[in-house]
Structure 1
Amino acid sequence: MPLIVPPAPAPALLSVLAALSSPSAVREARTPALRTAEGPLDADHPLPVHVFEPASVPGGLPQARLAGWRFHIRSGAVVVAAGETVLTADGWVFSRFAEGPYLASTERALGQADALPDTYQPHLLSVPSMYMMALWLHTVPRTDAATAQPDPADLLVPLAPAPPGIAAHRVYRMVELAPVLSVWLAPPPLAGSPA
């Protein structure tokens, strides 16, 4: 079934398009594929990027905080980079261009998700303490991306490279990975306290 992609805030898209039209921003980007791309560049596949945070209640699901939007930058049919935005006090602003293994992995995971029988809202999920990114498939496809929170029925598709013990591109139910993620999200014990 088709994925229902939440609409990106217009200022987020405009900031990426402005960066793409700036020769100095593209030239200074640390993305060789973007600097050498021929032809017009376009931003598509906007995905909200959330950071996983500890559960608000013991034993609950981790919480998600909207941290930005990521757009795939295409040169023709080829994804050459990602354009990222962040929310500041002044609104959505361009953050950086990026490339690397998560680009192709995200495209692959979106293809996997598109082939699933149910409809989902796709998000990117970052777990910095695990150096992990995943495609989060939210079961409430028309929710506001800014307020979306994990649901036990949601799915996660870890992107490659995935942390040890977690298979990249395997579709997990949220409740399967939540206990593992919660261990990594838990604050370390205070010095001198029982662990």
Structure 2
Amino acid sequence: MPLHVPQAPAPALRSVLTALSSPTAVREARTPSLLAAQGPLTPELPLPVHVLDRITAEGVSATRLAGWRFLISGSERAVAAADAVLTPDGWTFSRFFEGPYIASTELAVRQAEAMAQPYQPRLLSVPGLYMLTLWLHGDTAADGATGHPAATDLLVPLAPAPPGIAAHRPHRVAELLPVLTLRVTPTRLLGSPA
């Protein structure tokens, strides 16, 4: 079943298109695959990037929108990504980058497209674990820039995932969130100061 990709704000897309058309912005990005790409480059698959700031005492995740990420595709595949962030002056291009999360995002999206249930794809960053997940939100009509992971939503850890968490294996939020909470919460050792 196809994914219902949310529509990025038009100014966010425009800021990425402007950066792509600027030789200076591309050169300063210092991403070898972007510099070496042949042919036209296009921003595709806009995904809202949410950050998991904390888990409340009630077990509710506190998330916030950090920006929109676009995969930058060349002739055959994604070669880089671009982020747009909201500033007091509106949406603006933030950066180009590359690395393992580009191919991992593409793989996770392909896997999600083969699922029977429709989802709205998003990205969820867990900074305390240096972890990025594809968040498959069950409400396909929701505003991609708002909301929190529902218990029945799926999180697909992207590679490289933290030790002990399998990459590219879908987990229900209700199952994975407690594991993440335990990992992020510092534990007190016996005899340590309170």
Q: Could you state the TM-score of these two structures normalised by the residue count of structure 2?
A: 0.93
Q: Which amino acid aligns with 1:69?
A: W
Q: Following the alignment from structure 2 to structure 1, what is the Cα–Cα distance between the partners of residues 110 and 74? A: 19
Partner in structure 1 of residue 174 of structure 2 = 175
TM-fit CA distance, 1:155: 0.3
- C-alpha offsets along residues 106-150 of structure 1, whole Å, 9 cap, x if unaligned? 000001111111011100110111010000000111111121211
Partner in structure 1 of residue 110 of structure 2 = 111
Q: Following the alignment from structure 1 to structure 2, what is the Cα–Cα distance between the partners of residues 36 and 110? A: 25
Deviates more, 1:75-84 or 1:58-67: 58-67
Q: Which amino acid aligns with 2:2?
A: P
Partner in structure 1 of residue 142 of structure 2 = 143
> Against the structure 1 CA distance between its residues 184 and 32, is the aligned structure 2 distance closer, same or farther, given a 3 Å change threshold?
same
5+ unaligned residues in a row in structure 1: which ranges? none
Q: Which amino acid aligns with 1:73?
A: I
Partner in structure 2 of residue 52 of structure 1 = 52
TM-fit CA distance, 1:61: 2.9
1:43 aligns to 2:78 (yes or no): no
Partner in structure 1 of residue 165 of structure 2 = 166
- C-alpha offsets along residues 157-177 of structure 1, whole Å, 9 cap, x if unaligned? 100000001000011111111
Deviates more, 1:156-165 or 1:70-79: 70-79
The answer on whether the counterparts of 1:49 and 1:66 sit within 8 Å (CA) in structure 2 is yes
TM-fit CA distance, 1:184: 4.0
TM-align CA RMSD: 1.5
5+ unaligned residues in a row in structure 2: which ranges? none
Q: Following the alignment from structure 1 to structure 2, what is the Cα–Cα distance between the partners of residues 23 and 80? A: 16
Q: Following the alignment from structure 1 to structure 2, what is the Cα–Cα distance between the partners of residues 78 and 158? A: 21
Partner in structure 2 of residue 77 of structure 1 = 76
Q: Following the alignment from structure 1 to structure 2, what is the Cα–Cα distance between the partners of residues 105 and 55? A: 26
Deviates more, 1:103-112 or 1:74-83: 74-83
> Against the structure 1 CA distance between its residues 78 and 87, is the aligned structure 2 distance closer, same or farther, given a 3 Å change threshold?
same
Q: Secondary structure at the match of 2:60?
A: coil
Partner in structure 2 of residue 98 of structure 1 = 97
The answer on whether the counterparts of 1:12 and 1:92 sit within 8 Å (CA) in structure 2 is yes
Q: Following the alignment from structure 1 to structure 2, what is the Cα–Cα distance between the partners of residues 127 and 19? A: 27
- C-alpha offsets along residues 13-51 of structure 1, whole Å, 9 cap, x if unaligned? 000000000000111112100011111111110000000
TM-fit CA distance, 1:90: 1.0
The answer on whether the counterparts of 1:63 and 1:150 sit within 8 Å (CA) in structure 2 is no
TM-fit CA distance, 1:102: 0.3
Q: Following the alignment from structure 1 to structure 2, what is the Cα–Cα distance between the partners of residues 151 and 187? A: 25
Aligned residues: 191
Partner in structure 2 of residue 24 of structure 1 = 24
Partner in structure 1 of residue 9 of structure 2 = 9
Q: Following the alignment from structure 2 to structure 1, what is the Cα–Cα distance between the partners of residues 150 and 66? A: 19
Q: Secondary structure at the match of 2:19?
A: helix
Q: Aligned residues: percent identity?
A: 60
Q: Following the alignment from structure 1 to structure 2, what is the Cα–Cα distance between the partners of residues 187 and 107? A: 33
TM-fit CA distance, 1:76: 1.4
